[in-house]
A and B are shown apart, each in its own frame.
Chain A
Amino acid sequence: MYSGCASIFGWDIHAPGILSEDFSKKVKPIPERVALYLPPELLAYVSHDRGGRTADPQTYHVGEALGPMLVEGFQAGFEEFILLETEPTSAILKRYGIPYLVTVRIKNFKNRVTWGGHAITVATEALVFDSDLKWLGRFESSGASDAEKVFAKKGGPQVNLNAALENNVLAIVEYLQDSMRRGTWTEIQKETGAA
């Protein structure tokens, strides 16, 4: 019943799901072959966090936008990008000569709606494996966007959500590039700030 009410009373927020021009200025591709596996639960992730007791009901279609943005981010970050649409196995990785497999899951989605503004934070966890499916590294990434008078603008909450997701994708790709260049994987947090 709640979801039915939210559909006629409240905000149904679908982000554009595409990276901005700034992303291509910040990220340059490196010559690596990387496969990305997106679990079904990531693509279906939806949040009903209102961000405040007095706020209107809101529905954020997070996974719907994050999936294409991750694909685009990895396309921009790695010269040989492969999307793995089937569950990964060591045999698949070896057959296609894939040295790195990355899988991402959404760890947390935070929303804060006040009279002053609207802040969204998306936290993800990424796991990196080698071709033997041995774990190389695990890291958390966080992307946030905090803006004022968001709901007053046409497309405001959508763009705000998109900005938070883009910051998260940027954090993931930059961390992967740094680790591949160095050849070391450490459990650290990489966070990019608010818009």
Chain B
Amino acid sequence: MKKLFSALLQFHQIKFLPPLWGKVRMGGKNIELSPPPFRHTNWRIRLWRNSSPIKGGGNNWSKALFIFLSLYSFFISQNTVLYGSEVFQDTDTQVVVREHPKTGKPYVSIISHSALSQVDPFERLKGKMSRPDYRMLDPKVKSGEIPYEGPYSSSTKIYVFAATLATLGTVGGAVGLATVPAAATGAAASGGGAYLAGGAAVAGGAAGAAALATRSDSRQDDFIQTSKSESIEKLNNGK
């Protein structure tokens, strides 16, 4: 494109680029280029003939001029910012619509074009749930009176006994298990905890199993406690 443009210039023996607007003399003719109101609008060109006669080749000149001006305008437009009346700096960002991870309500988010930012920062938190009711914090309100569906946890106190305790094999040998409230099964357990009511599973465990027990004393605290047993052999393998 640039080679063709320079060839046209040489053909008309133009030694310098014409101005963007104003009167220009090219090929023996006077040409007036009117300035456009905005950079991206069409150019207005007026031709007028001077008093001197135009000597031959007029048709070829007109065609060449038309081609020249078309190419020139095209060349200039490649570097023109085609926005309305303002020029905005390229920010390498894009707009996306995301959903709130808890409520699902959509919102607008501006992210960069890089791959890492395409991931929703709250992706792993997605999971709709009911809104909490702070009345449950009232000390007069007992646990469970006001429904709660959100995450919860309980203290897990784990005591690892030696293998000799596991050989006892009976529930009675595990101190404190008898006092563990069976009604708390499931309700007190956390997501990954296993609750053993009565500790029967301890006795049924493989040789080398360790009894893990916790003592519940309702006089001292209101903790909901869980019991969990896990084989010592399994624990040793995990080290």
One of A68, A150, A160, A163 near B101 (C-beta < 8 A): A68
Of the candidates A35, A95, A147, the one whose C-beta lies within 8 Å of that of B89 is: A95
List which B105-146 residues lie within 8 A (CB) of chain A: 105, 107-112, 117, 121-122, 125, 129, 131-134, 136-139, 142-144
Q: What A residues does B48 contact at CB under 8 A?
A: none
- In the complex the two chains form, is B143's CB within 8 Å of A152's CB? yes
What are the interface flags for A65-88 relative to B under an 8 Å C-beta threshold, 1 for contact and 0 otherwise? 001100110010000111111100
B150 to A: closest C-beta gap in Å: 4
B150 touches A158 (CB 8 A): yes
- Decide if A86 touches B148 in the complex (CB within 8 Å): no
B184 → chain A closest CB, angstroms: 10
Classify the secondary structure of B's interface with A: loop
Give Cα A145–Cα B187 distance, bound, in whole angstroms.
Answer: 25
A28 contacts the other chain (Cβ, under 8 Å)?
no
Residue on B nearest A64 in the bound complex, by CB: B125
B88 CB → nearest A CB, Å: 5
What range describes how many residues of B lie at the interface?
A: 35 or more
Q: Assess the B158–A9 pair: CB atoms within 8 A.
A: yes
| Chain A interface, number of residues (Cβ within 8 angstroms) | 57
Q: Is A153 an interface residue (CB 8 A)?
A: yes
* A127-166 interface with B by 8 A CB criterion: 145, 147-160, 162-163
On B, residues with C-beta under 8 Å from A are 88-89, 91, 93, 95, 98, 100-103, 105, 107-112, 117, 121-122, 125, 129, 131-134, 136-139, 142-144, 148, 150-158, 187-188, 221-224
Which residues of A approach B to under 8 Å, CB–CB?
8-22, 35, 38, 43, 56, 64, 67-68, 71-72, 75, 80-86, 89, 91-92, 94-96, 117, 145, 147-160, 162-163, 195
